[in-house]
Structure 1
Amino acid sequence: MSTPSAPRILVVDDDADMLRLLSMRLHAAGYHVSAVGSAEAALAQLAVERPRLVLSDVRLPGRDGLSLFDEIRQRHPSLPVILLTAHGTIPDAVEATARGVFGYLTKPYDARELLDKIAQAIALGVPPSSGDTHDERWREEIVSRSSRMEELLAEARMVARSDASVLLRGDSGSGKELLARAIHKASPRARRPFVAVNCGAIPEALLESELFGHMKGAFTDAVANHKGLFQAADGGTLLLDEIGDMPPALQVKLLRVLQERAVRPLGSSQSIPVDVRVISATHRDLETAMAGGQFRQDLYYRLNVVTLTLPTLAERREDIPLLANHFLHKLAGKYGKRVSGFAPEALKALASAPWPGNVRQLYNVVEQVCALSTTALVPLALVQRALRVPGVEVLTYAEAKQRFEREYLVGLLKMTDGSVADAARLAGRNRTEFYRLLQKNELTPGLFKGDTVALSPDDDKPESPNAKAKDR
């Protein structure tokens, strides 16, 4: 029986008997259940109340289950969807999983398998905050279903309500600017400007003018008055990206602006009040930079009222298929391609890649494969090409063990110039056993001697139990 705090599941099926059976089974498993008979009714229900999971039949009147999933993904990117169908074909399953559906089961379904799949999906998610179930527009650009990202977003939503300065930490390409935009959208300043500047991309001579503005005649090329980015963001939010790259001299002036809440344009004798919420971001270790005298300690504490750290893409791998399909469908229109997803082995390659460039790198890879794809499902070869990796050879455990053993023996024989006694000693094996290993791997010690002379017949035979300890 369900409890008041039990997760809610939205079940969609046009078969009244199946809908009743699923509802009873899920209720008995401890879930709250909302049951509807069409995709349209499901979307209406989602507008009122967001569940933790959607369980839908594929064959529905009007809009089908895959179409319903696409709509859910646009409105609620982190909401997992499991599809059921009595028409279980491989192409349907491939398309469903390639498009980011969490699970796909065929009717008649196995009750234990279904409950396990539901438990897995709910474990990956985080319950929506009370009062916020109907509106996720503030974070619509951040596609994720990982629990780590959901926890980070919950903190970001909480921080957004205050006016505290926020320092975003994370590797390049991990999405710091997207998170800054989300914080702005969730804040009372959402209707005012959001302005972003990369402090490391603008030459030092121009950065001061860009930030604080200048008056006509302040320097040679100042042919007119220019409002700086602090003034442009007045009432809103200013993101100082890569703050760790800001020159020390400019750090002093920035600190003064933050303390006085006013800017003085170059060439002006008067300060102009500004009301700006500052979010800063960096991939650098600012503590190390402070220790080395490259970053001011007083500025650090002024900017670092609240710290939010973005995980790398490798730390949120469950988001990779979701992000890849999101980018693919977004880019398909740009390149005029009719692609529906990734082949399963291609999606597996994406999910297991190291991603040193994080989400930005993933987007670039998806853009390349989308531009080059000529099939409905992006193949493994295109993904490997975009990742610049050789063809992936998946070995069984036995094959991998055999390959390692042979390469290990070859290395020993090269190291010992073909001496079986020395190689066996390094391997911690007696010569008889070592000879058996060589024969098993079809290796001839004489071929590894420096003079390439083959072993004598006597030297090429395993020693007898009474053989001398040394072979030379």
Structure 2
Amino acid sequence: MSDLPDDPVTPPAAALRAPGPHLLVVDDDADMLRLLTIRLTAAGYRVTAVTSAEAAMTQLHIERPQLVLSDVRLPGRDGLALFDDIRAQHPSLPVILLTAHGTIPDAVQATERGVFSYLTKPFDGKSLLDKIAQALSLSAPAHSVKPGSPQAWQNQIVSRSSRMAEVLAEAHMVAQSDASVLLRGESGTGKELLARAIHQAGSRAGKPFIAVNCGAIPEPLLESELFGHVKGAFTGAVANHIGLFQAADGGTLLLDEIGDMPPALQVKLLRVLQERMVRPLGSSQSIPVDVRIISATHRDLDLAMAEGQFRADLYYRLNVVTLSLPPLSERREDIALLANYFLVKLADKYKKRLSGFAPEALIALTTAAWPGNVRQLYNVVEQVCALSTSPLVPLALVQRALRSPSVEVLTLAEARQRFERDYLVGLLKLTDGNVADAARLADRNRTEFYRLMQKHGLTPGLFKADSNGPASPPAAS
């Protein structure tokens, strides 16, 4: 240690301020503690140095660092006991252990417990800095935004990428107006999440935000869902139904997958946007509505217009401002951040004590292709969360989830509910809304079939067809 300065060791809990990430260093060897502090400060880190596990836990209560670097041999509680305490209170905080040769007989067991990595003394300075950089890049916890803060509008969007920062800056600017916004991006990139953020950042934040997937609702039902209907407007209309435009009055309506809207409805939507009035099906009265429109699509609308599948006048009405979300493959710095964020949420859902991902598992996640973007990442994390039997998610489980088709994980009750509704819709479309025929195909009596339809909000009149093809309920301008 002859190359060290003669000044006394940095006192416990003394923090050397530097602009970089904050590290907590724990070692009872005064010379080693001073050397580590000098090296890490020179590398741009802000260092807090303490000499015991007890002092480290006290410091953690004062300020949470971004990484803990600790010797294994400490007076009183050792480094592994310190790690256990840290993991219990801060499960996403990465810990690197320094050990004399042979101190940890089974390094694999240590990393399985959740220790990010360990280095054997004497260690190479470059290796130490590389391990710290890797731990910070892979294990950084998701940022938290306090309610009421200027950033609270985006508190559901987890990101640190420059691409997303640009999108969010533009979103915040457009949120201050009532201009219609078109969100473009591949499926699963988070278009609805961004739409909600725009709503929260604007003057309509206290009013309703309603989203409708224009491609997921059968055409006969979509018109009624959007504009509403009055009792007796068509067979099966047994009560007045308020449409989504009226339900969103004063707030924001997200028309998701607008590119899948049937051409006939595009005309009616354009009229509503121009007149700011809706007329429920079967009504002679138009109702004024004050709704901010955000639309979203994964389709190429320019190509759809060229092929005559999307109206140009509607496109220009919707596309006052365009925001494009990057695919997950172009914001890889967010993958580990999102994976840990989802893991915390899903561990609570599945009532499991999960401390994080093994380092090699995080590397596998950050290098995967992700054609399904953030939605696929969420589904993969949910799969490993549901199947994990250890606190630290291993590489093998992540590889298994990445190889298998990424499907949404539903409870059995949720899956049955979804299947049942899709099955009823299919039968009613097949029989043009004839309940007797549909019940016969389902091998159920009419009373039971009507009860099932009522459960899922279906009416036979919306599936009626005439000789010219599927019939919409009486249209109103």
TM-score range for the pair, normalised by the shorter chain length: 0.5 to 0.7
How far 1:284 sits from its partner (Å)? 0.3
> Which one has the largest radius of gyration?
1
Partner of 2:389: 374
Partner of 2:179: 164
Is 1:201–2:216 an aligned residue pair?
yes
Amino acid corresponding to residue 186 of structure 1 in structure 2: A
2-structure distance, mates of 1:277, 1:118: 47
Partner of 1:150: 165
Alignment check: 8 A CA contact 1:14 1:61 kept: no
Amino acid corresponding to residue 375 of structure 1 in structure 2: S
Partner of 2:429: none
How far 1:133 sits from its partner (Å)? 11
Alignment check: 8 A CA contact 2:114 2:392 kept: no
C-alpha spacing 1:108/1:9, structure 2 compared with 1 (3 Å) = farther
1-structure distance, mates of 2:33, 2:147: 28
Partner of 2:287: 272
Choose from 293, 298, 301 the match for 2:313. 298
C-alpha spacing 1:106/1:320, structure 2 compared with 1 (3 Å) = farther
Question: Does the residue aligned with 1:167 lie in a helix, a strand or coil?
Answer: strand
Question: Does the residue aligned with 2:295 lie in a helix, a strand or coil?
Answer: strand
How far 1:110 sits from its partner (Å)? 7.7
Q: What per-residue deviation string (whole Å, max 9, x for no partner) do you get for residues 84-109 of structure 1?
A: 66579766666668xxx9x9999999
Unaligned 5+ segments in structure 2 are 1-17, 71-78, 406-477
Partner of 1:235: 250
Alignment check: 8 A CA contact 2:356 2:391 kept: yes
Alignment check: 8 A CA contact 1:10 1:35 kept: no
Alignment check: 8 A CA contact 1:313 1:358 kept: yes
2-structure distance, mates of 1:338, 1:55: 21
2-structure distance, mates of 1:115, 1:345: 18
Partner of 1:192: 207
Structure-to-structure mapping, 1:44-443, within 5 angstroms: 54=66, 66=87, 134-388=149-403
How far 1:251 sits from its partner (Å)? 0.9
C-alpha spacing 1:206/1:39, structure 2 compared with 1 (3 Å) = farther
Partner of 2:437: none
C-alpha spacing 1:373/1:153, structure 2 compared with 1 (3 Å) = same
Alignment check: 8 A CA contact 1:331 1:367 kept: yes
Partner of 1:424: none
2-structure distance, mates of 1:352, 1:226: 49
How far 1:324 sits from its partner (Å)? 2.2
Deviation larger for 169-178 or 332-341? 332-341
Question: Does the residue aligned with 1:197 lie in a helix, a strand or coil?
Answer: strand
Deviation larger for 266-275 or 134-143? 134-143
C-alpha spacing 1:8/1:138, structure 2 compared with 1 (3 Å) = farther
Count of aligned residue pairs for this structure pair: 362
1-structure distance, mates of 2:339, 2:262: 37
2-structure distance, mates of 1:61, 1:297: 64
How far 1:339 sits from its partner (Å)? 2.8
2-structure distance, mates of 1:62, 1:239: 46
Partner of 2:434: none
How far 1:209 sits from its partner (Å)? 0.9
Partner of 1:448: none
Q: What per-residue deviation string (whole Å, max 9, x for no partner) do you get for residues 302-341 of structure 1?
A: 1111111111122222222222222223222333333322
Question: Does the residue aligned with 1:249 lie in a helix, a strand or coil?
Answer: helix
Q: TM-score, normalised by structure 2?
A: 0.62
2-structure distance, mates of 1:132, 1:8: 26
Q: Which has the higher contact order (CA 8 A, sep 6+)?
A: 2
Alignment check: 8 A CA contact 1:39 1:63 kept: no
1-structure distance, mates of 2:119, 2:147: 31
Q: Cα RMSD (Å) of the superposition?
A: 4.2
